[in-house]
Copies of this chain bind each other. A is one copy, B any other.
């Protein structure tokens, strides 16, 4: 029965969406005199009826099953998508040419929110933490991404429909197929098989070409839609490739992440910072990934904005001087242990405890988890629906020490919005090896120390005689030996054996006694040279925006058709609207004056002189999440000069002198005051029934 209901809900949802389109196009025609008002009204009436049908079906389902239906998730998502597209928060790019998957345009409110959010990010991280912000190009020469490993390894497995040639991500196909098997009620799999499938599902992301191919074959995965056979999986590089310069001989890529721009600048940034560590650099900019099958709106796109931080620190000391400021925060942590346990549920835990119990690897990583959590709270993500999930051992790159993803719960499940990784010294070492440029830092000891060091003194004459033109390469290979490797060579040579050394180009040389002198000496050492570790918090701005949209969206109590975007004032695209209560010159003039004052205070605002009912005007501004509304009435121009100021979520109103209103809104937006404080300072104004 529930399946039938679900189908009815889906049909009802589709009908609502279609009728919404009809209403919009009729309205546009009416404006051009090509449709009658009565037609428009009838269409709106029909839309309201369809919405009621949908709602009652959903309630019926929830009653019957005791749970929120996936259909109702779909309904929420569709309703939100309706608002987001209709009010042009974002829309598919190149629409008039039929669009291209994975590309979106931000319209005016989306663009403003993105700006506001990145400004909050910049203040919260760059300004408050004194980070060094940089901006590097997206077009990147191949050598940089060869060093970082992206040219060789930034791939997804792809399969093609052997008949149509259509492309699919192998992991998505396998996952979808396995999930369908588990959910198939008609042909249920055995408990043993179910366990096998679940284990395979948990590890799909880690499959190699051969194991992926074996799995696809074993489960007879076929191309969706056609049911045709599929090709064996092959690695597809996700970078957009181009060519730099007029000759066509320099390969370039669009960067797949902003981080590399910071790494290649490490030496200059260290100099800029007076040679001192730790320090953090940050970059906000666009990255590009030629996804095989973009999907889920803003969640998987081909061009997106990242905000990345690289915090450089001595690997021997990852304490953070400001850790105490976040130690008592209690975000939801979903540690490795909890993921492997019975309940599989994140738990709140203080960051101080997580570090002291060794759950989070070090203070600096935990500090950034705390700061990230505060950032999400600031921009309006519900902290009860956000967790930090630790990477399981097999999910992490071999060089990484500890990784946590900031995930937000949405109708798509838990969405990864931030990655926080302790990447050790991997990146700087990789670029140093490729560029042959020293990317180390020097830590000066407070006092010079006497230390026993291993000295390697090549015998140039002997090396020249034996190795001829390779003399220099052998010498460098010897001098590059670290202490313990040098002592191994020494031991071998003293035992009358030969030893081999190799340089970074992979050449190997055979060393015999007499070619080199290796000795321990006691020296005055003033400091230590080391390659810094890097702790990397990496934010996907588009994903965070989408999650925030879901958390802010609600409908007015008792009226499911009245959508509200409950944006935090600091994020809201428009901070205030100004309405003259009715269309009169005196009221319009004061409204225009207040609008100018808001603008002068740096507050984006809209003036609405349409003369629609106040209720209708509120409904329009609720949809784009305007937090404050100023209404000018006769008392404003003839009486005491006060205006009505209304707060969106509580719908409560106060009377504020017109001359003070811009300042009050500025203080509210900047969090210098609260609506509670404003409400107790100024007299309340009761809303009339028709206003809401």
Contacts and interface: CB of A to CB of B under 8 A. Distances in A.
Interface in A256-292: 261, 264-265, 267-269, 271-272, 275, 286, 288, 290, 292
Contacts of A245: 100-101, 167, 290, 292
A105 B136 contact: yes
Given A28-B271, A127-B599, A302-B244, A107 B88 contact: no
B100 A247 contact: no
B143 A97 contact: yes
A52 to B, nearest CB: 27
Contacts of A96: 264, 267, 431, 435, 437, 439
27 contacts: A28-B271, A28-B275, A31-B275, A31-B444, A32-B526, A32-B529, A91-B265, A93-B137, A93-B261, A93-B264, A94-B141, A95-B265, A96-B267, A97-B141, A105-B137, A106-B135, A107-B132, A107-B269, A108-B134, A158-B246, A167-B245, A240-B244, A241-B242, A241-B243, A244-B290, A245-B290, A246-B290
Contacts of A103: 137, 139
How many protomers of this protein does the assembly include? Answer: 2
A114 B136 contact: no
Contacts of A240: 139, 242-244, 252
Contacts of A250: 100
Interface residues of A, number: 85
Nearest to A167: B246
Contacts of A107: 132, 134, 265, 268-269, 272
A406 to B, nearest CB: 24
A112 B136 contact: no
Interface string A221-245: 0000000000000001000111111
Interface in A108-147: 108, 110-112, 114-115, 122-123, 127-128, 132-141, 143-144
A106 B110 CA distance: 26
A599 B101 CA distance: 42
Interface in A138-188: 138-141, 143-144, 158, 165, 167
Contacts of A101: 245
Interface in A602-651: 602, 604
Contacts of A435: 96-97
Given A96-B435, A527-B33, A599-B127, A139 B254 contact: yes
A323 interface: no
A243 B237 CA distance: 12
A87 B274 CA distance: 11
A585 to B, nearest CB: 17
Interface in A7-56: 28, 31-33
A509 interface: no
B123 A602 contact: yes
B264 A97 contact: yes
B143 A292 contact: no
Nearest to A119: B119
B135 A114 contact: yes
B97 A138 contact: no
Nearest to A526: B33
Of A95, A134, A140, most buried by chain B (CB within 10 Å of CB) is A134
A6 interface: no
- Report the 4 A-B pairs with minimum CB-CB distance, sorted nearest first: A33-B526, A167-B246, A96-B435, A106-B135
A100 B139 CA distance: 10
Contacts of A114: 135
A251 B243 CA distance: 14
A308 to B, nearest CB: 14
Contacts of A431: 96
A94 B88 CA distance: 38
Of A111, A431, A439, A444, most buried by chain B (CB within 10 Å of CB) is A111
A442 B32 contact: yes
Contacts of A128: 599
